[in-house]
Structure 1
Amino acid sequence: MANKENPSYFLWERFKNGDDDAFYRIYDQYFNELYSYALNFSKDQDFIKDCIHDLFLNLYKYRKTLSSTDNIQYYLLRSLRRLLHKEGTKRNTLLHDEQLLHLNDTPVVSLEDEIIADETKKENFKALADVMKKLTKKQREALSLKFEHNLSYPQIADTLNISVESARTMIYRTLKELRKAIKKGKTSNSILLFFMLRNRI
């Protein structure tokens, strides 16, 4: 049930009730985040932008029939994911796991950049990057949802259509592999601290 005391709830209700300013505020606030998330599924920038625009057009068109929410981010991410799959199947632009594994700029590049921002040793960066490229599409998406979009485990599970326990296990095992890839010392400690603070585990 939506928390009616949450500011996001009131913003969403204003939009549903025809407030165009609320609509543009939602668009401006979440476009970049939606774009970043969509990179998990396609590298076609025009396709991604088209899907995001279609999403907002549909929201605007059917705003009076939309359900209430106090988590606009979660609502939009789930809606965009469905639309990307639907349109991607039609246009054959979704990337397969094996293709993603060979891309240097994986969907979690921003996460990698944040983790290693203070690191200067090339060998440590390479170790982390190599592991990132070996992750499955779903593992990278789970990390993106958790670290870049700060979704809860139940929300991640719902988005990926898996159980909450599976979501926890997937992220835990993935982080474990990342830790193994980093050498002991300053780099290892800083990365571990980053994950502990962001993941609360």
Structure 2
Amino acid sequence: MRSSDQNEGKLWKNFREGNDRAFFDLYDQYVDVLFSFGIQFCTDKEIVKDCIQDLFIDLYRYRKSLSDTDSIKFYLFRSLRRKLHKEISKNQFVSLDEEVEVRLDLQVSDSEKKIIGYESEKENLHILEQALKQLTKQQQRALAMKFEQNLSYSEIASLLNISVESARTNIYRALKSLRKKMSKKNMATTALLIVYYKSMSFGNSILI
């Protein structure tokens, strides 16, 4: 077991046992990533913030009865998603695509990462951002979960209420669309996505 997994397990255990310091550490560690995740489903920032607040209130209130988890982040994402689902109408919530049986693993090569030049990075990221806006909402959410939150396909599928195959398909089709739109720019799409979502995660820091 990795040390990070051990530390996460210890944090969750201490929190459930009533350690207030662990609760505040949990809040500080995950509040920003929860916000980044939440706005993928709801563009109203105040609703997202309110749901995050309610989530942590519930966690504190019922912490001694909470189940164990292998991933705190996934546990919190799933809980927040349920709260958001109750706050917004079905028409505003994620629409589901039909299942397509396509299996494709996502890989990022070292050579791709080296293609991005420092001077042109800002311009490239802007072009990428515009291309991302042309994807479906579900494709945007799936990419954010994969590249920003580093979730597995099974976790993405669970959070989007789709099959694992559909999660892979959404990411595959999104990457294919992005590469087609950006091919003339000779950009390394997957590497740019990593840089883009990394910059987004730093830029979305909030105070709730």
Is the TM value for this pair above 0.5?
yes
Q: Which residue of 1 aligns with 2:146?
A: 146
Q: Which residue of 2 aligns with 1:173?
A: 173
Q: Secondary structure at the match of 1:138?
A: helix
Deviations 1:98-122, CA, capped at 9 Å, x for gaps:
xxxxxxxxxxxxxxxxx89753696
Structure 1 Cα separation of the partners of residues 119 and 93 of structure 2: 31
Q: Secondary structure at the match of 2:82?
A: helix
Structure 2 Cα separation of the partners of residues 42 and 117 of structure 1: 33
Q: Which residue of 2 aligns with 1:191?
A: 189
Instruction: Classify 1:131/1:13 alpha carbon distance in 2 versus 1 (closer, same or farther; 3 Å).
Output: same
Structure 1 Cα separation of the partners of residues 35 and 194 of structure 2: 26
Deviations 1:85-107, CA, capped at 9 Å, x for gaps:
11223xx994788xxxxxxxxxx
Instruction: Classify 1:53/1:172 alpha carbon distance in 2 versus 1 (closer, same or farther; 3 Å).
Output: same
CA contact (8 A) 2:8 2:72 kept: yes
Structure 1 Cα separation of the partners of residues 154 and 75 of structure 2: 13
Structure 2 Cα separation of the partners of residues 116 and 44 of structure 1: 35
Q: Which residue of 2 aligns with 1:53?
A: 53
Structure 1 Cα separation of the partners of residues 145 and 169 of structure 2: 15
Give unpaired runs (5+ residues) of structure 2: 96-115, 197-208
Q: Which residue of 2 aligns with 1:88?
A: 88
Q: Count how many residue pairs are aligned between Structure 1 and Structure 2.
A: 173
Structure 1 residue 139: Cα displacement: 0.9
CA contact (8 A) 2:178 2:189 kept: no
Deviations 1:170-200, CA, capped at 9 Å, x for gaps:
1011101100011346x42x334446999xx
Q: Secondary structure at the match of 2:183?
A: coil
CA contact (8 A) 1:12 1:72 kept: yes
What is the Cα-based RMSD across aligned positions, in Å?
3.1
Q: Secondary structure at the match of 2:133?
A: helix
Instruction: Classify 1:118/1:29 alpha carbon distance in 2 versus 1 (closer, same or farther; 3 Å).
Output: farther
Q: Which residue of 2 aligns with 1:65?
A: 65
Instruction: Classify 1:136/1:192 alpha carbon distance in 2 versus 1 (closer, same or farther; 3 Å).
Output: closer
The reply to whether residue 182 of structure 1 matches residue 186 of structure 2 is no
Deviations 1:2-47, CA, capped at 9 Å, x for gaps:
xxx6221111011011011001001000101111111112222221
Q: Percent of aligned pairs with the same residue?
A: 48
Structure 1 residue 165: Cα displacement: 1.3
Q: Which residue of 2 aligns with 1:164?
A: 164
Q: Which residue of 1 aligns with 2:19?
A: 19
TM alignment of 1:94-113, pairs within 5 A? 94=92
CA contact (8 A) 1:12 1:70 kept: no
Structure 2 Cα separation of the partners of residues 170 and 75 of structure 1: 22
Structure 2 Cα separation of the partners of residues 80 and 51 of structure 1: 7
Q: Secondary structure at the match of 2:151?
A: coil
Instruction: Classify 1:155/1:116 alpha carbon distance in 2 versus 1 (closer, same or farther; 3 Å).
Output: farther
Give unpaired runs (5+ residues) of structure 1: 98-114
Structure 2 Cα separation of the partners of residues 93 and 20 of structure 1: 39
CA contact (8 A) 1:157 1:167 kept: yes
Structure 2 Cα separation of the partners of residues 195 and 130 of structure 1: 12
Q: Which residue of 2 aligns with 1:119?
A: 120
CA contact (8 A) 1:142 1:167 kept: yes
